[in-house]
C-alpha cells in the first residue's frame, strides 16, 4: 500500500478538531513513506487540499456550518483523486463523519477505510441507543432520558427532570461530540434546565439528559480489542469542555491513572465490553466517570477519537510504549 487518503475537516461542529487530528495523522503516515492525500469533503469535488488553514480556538457555529452542503460528501467520495487511493483514513469527527454517513458512502463505492463500520458508528454516535446496549450488556451507565426538539418545556416536565435527577444533570446533544452543546445543571432552577435543553437542541434534534455523576473523569483507549493504560483528566477549573480539551495547559492528564489495580482492571474490561457491544473495530476511546465508591459509569464510545497533540489516545499509547507514528501505522492495519 502506498497511496492513502485522509479525510479531515467536514461539516460538523468538530470541524477544526478534525483538521488537527487528520493533519497529524497524515504527517505521521508521510514519515512512514506513504503517499498521502488530504481531503476535506466540505468542499465537494474541490476537496483535495495541501495546506492547513488557520484554525480558530472556538468551535464553528451552527450558522457557519449551515453554509456547507452535505451533498458535497458524495462529490468528494466519488472523485477520481480519492477513489484511486488504496485506503481511506477517516479522521472526520462528529456528524457526517463519525455517524455512519461517510462510512456508508465509502462502502457503496467499494473503498476500504479505517475504523468501525457504518452500523457501529451509527450506534455509538446515538448516545441514547448506545446506552441501551451498554445496559443490556451489563455495563453500568448513568440514568437518562431524551427530549425531542419541539417538546413543550412545561413546568411539569421541568419539575419531573429535577425530581429524577436530584444530584444534578448533564444535558447534551444526543449525537454530539467534543462536549459541544453540553451543560451541567446542579441548581435545579427551571430556567437553567430549560436553557440547557435549548442549547443542546441548537446542535441536535434530540437532547440527552443524563444523571450527573460527581467524581473522577477517566477515559480508556481500546486498540484492537485491548485496553491501553487509563487516562485521568483533571480540568483546571470548570468541567472538561471544548476549551479544556483543546487549549494547551487547561487540563492535567495523568496516565496511567492512579487507581487500585483491581479497579483499573475492571474499568479496562468494561471499556473493551463497550467497544464490542457496539461492534467497533480498530481504535476507539471509551469515557467514564468514577464515583466516590469506585463505581465506574460508562458514558460513551468515540469511534474516531481525537489524534491531536493534546488528544487522549496518543497519551495512552505513549504510556504503553507505542509512539504516535506506530499508533498511526496500527490505525491503518485494521480495516
73 classed as catalytic: no
pLDDT tens-digit series, residues 268-297: 999 999 999 999 999 999 999 999 999 999
293 classed as catalytic: no
pTM: 0.89
CB atoms within 10 A of CB 160: 12
The fold of the 3-113 domain, in CATH, is Rossmann fold (3.40.50)
Query: Residues 12, 47, 178, 251: which is the catalytic one?
Result: 178
Query: Residues 72, 117, 174, 302: which is the catalytic one?
Result: 302
pLDDT tens-digit series, residues 148-183: 999 999 999 999 999 999 999 999 999 865 567 899
Query: Residues 79, 99, 204, 287: which is the catalytic one?
Result: 287
Query: Residues 216, 285, 289, 311: which is the catalytic one?
Result: 285
Domain boundaries for CATH 3.30.1490.20 within the chain: 144-211
Q: Which residue has the cell 461517510?
A: 102
pLDDT band at 242 (very low <50, low <70, confident <90, very high): very low
- Grid cell of 85 as nine digits: 487511493
Give the list of residues 6+ apart from residue 209 with CB closer than 8 angstroms, or none: 144, 145, 146, 147, 161, 165, 169, 170, 171, 197
246 classed as catalytic: yes
pLDDT tens-digit series, residues 68-115: 999 999 999 999 999 899 999 999 998 899 999 999 999 999 999 999
- Which one is the CATH code of 144-211: 3.50.50.60, 3.30.1490.20, 3.10.129.10, 3.40.50.10190? 3.30.1490.20
Domain boundaries for CATH 3.40.50.20 within the chain: 3-113
Domain boundaries for CATH 3.30.470.20 within the chain: 125-140+214-333
285 classed as catalytic: yes
Which class in CATH covers the domain with range 125-140+214-333? alpha beta
- The answer to whether 283 and 223 have CB atoms below 8 angstroms apart is yes
Amino acid at each position: 500500500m502506498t497511496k492513502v487518503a485522509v479525510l479531515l475537516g467536514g461539516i460538523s461542529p468538530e470541524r477544526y478538531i478534525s483538521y488537527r487530528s487528520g493533519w497529524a495523522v497524515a504527517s505521521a503516515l508521510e514519515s512512514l513513506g506513504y503517499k498521502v492525500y488530504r481531503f476535506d469533503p466540505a468542499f465537494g469535488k474541490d476537496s483535495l487540499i495541501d495546506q492547513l488553514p488557520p484554525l480558530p480556538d472556538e468551535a464553528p457555529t451552527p450558522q457557519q456550518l449551515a453554509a456547507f452542503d452535505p451533498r458535497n460528501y458524495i462529490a468528494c467520495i466519488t472523485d477520481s483523486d480519492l477513489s484511486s487511493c488504496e485506503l481511506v483514513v477517516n479522521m472526520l469527527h462528529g456528524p457526517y463523519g463519525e455517524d455512519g454517513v461517510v462510512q456508508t458512502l465509502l462502502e457503496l463505492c467499494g473503498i476500504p477505510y479505517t475504523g468501525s463500520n457504518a452500523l457501529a458508528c451509527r450506534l455509538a454516535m446515538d448516545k441514547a441507543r448506545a446506552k441501551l446496549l451498554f445496559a443490556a450488556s451489563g455495563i453500568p451507565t448513568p440514568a437518562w432520558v431524551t427530549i425531542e426538539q419541539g417538546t413543550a418545556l412545561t413546568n411539569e416536565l421541568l419539575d419531573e427532570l429535577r425530581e429524577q435527577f436530584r444530584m444534578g444533570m448533564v444535558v447534551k446533544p444526543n449525537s454530539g461530540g467534543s462536549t459541544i452543546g453540553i451543560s451541567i445543571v446542579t441548581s435545579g432552577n427551571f430556567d437553567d434546565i430549560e436553557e440547557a435543553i435549548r442549547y443542546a437542541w441548537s446542535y441536535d434534534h434530540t437532547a440527552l439528559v443524563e444523571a450527573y455523576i460527581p467524581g473522577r473523569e477517566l477515559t480508556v483507549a481500546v486498540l484492537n480489542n485491548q485496553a491501553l493504560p487509563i487516562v485521568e483528566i483533571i480540568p483546571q477549573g470548570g468541567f472538561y469542555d471544548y476549551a479544556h480539551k483543546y487549549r494547551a495547559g487547561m487540563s492535567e492528564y495523568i496516565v496511567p491513572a492512579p487507581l487500585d489495580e483491581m479497579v483499573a482492571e475492571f474499568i479496562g474490561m468494561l471499556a473493551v465490553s463497550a467497544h464490542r457491544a457496539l461492534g467497533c473495530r480498530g481504535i476507539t476511546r471509551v469515557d467514564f466517570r468514577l464515583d466516590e465508591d469506585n463505581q465506574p459509569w460508562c458514558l460513551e464510545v468515540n469511534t474516531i477519537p481525537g489524534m491531536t497533540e493534546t488528544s487522549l489516545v496518543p497519551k495512552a499509547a505513549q504510556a504503553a510504549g507505542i509512539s504516535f507514528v506506530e499508533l498511526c501505522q496500527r490505525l491503518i492495519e485494521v480495516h
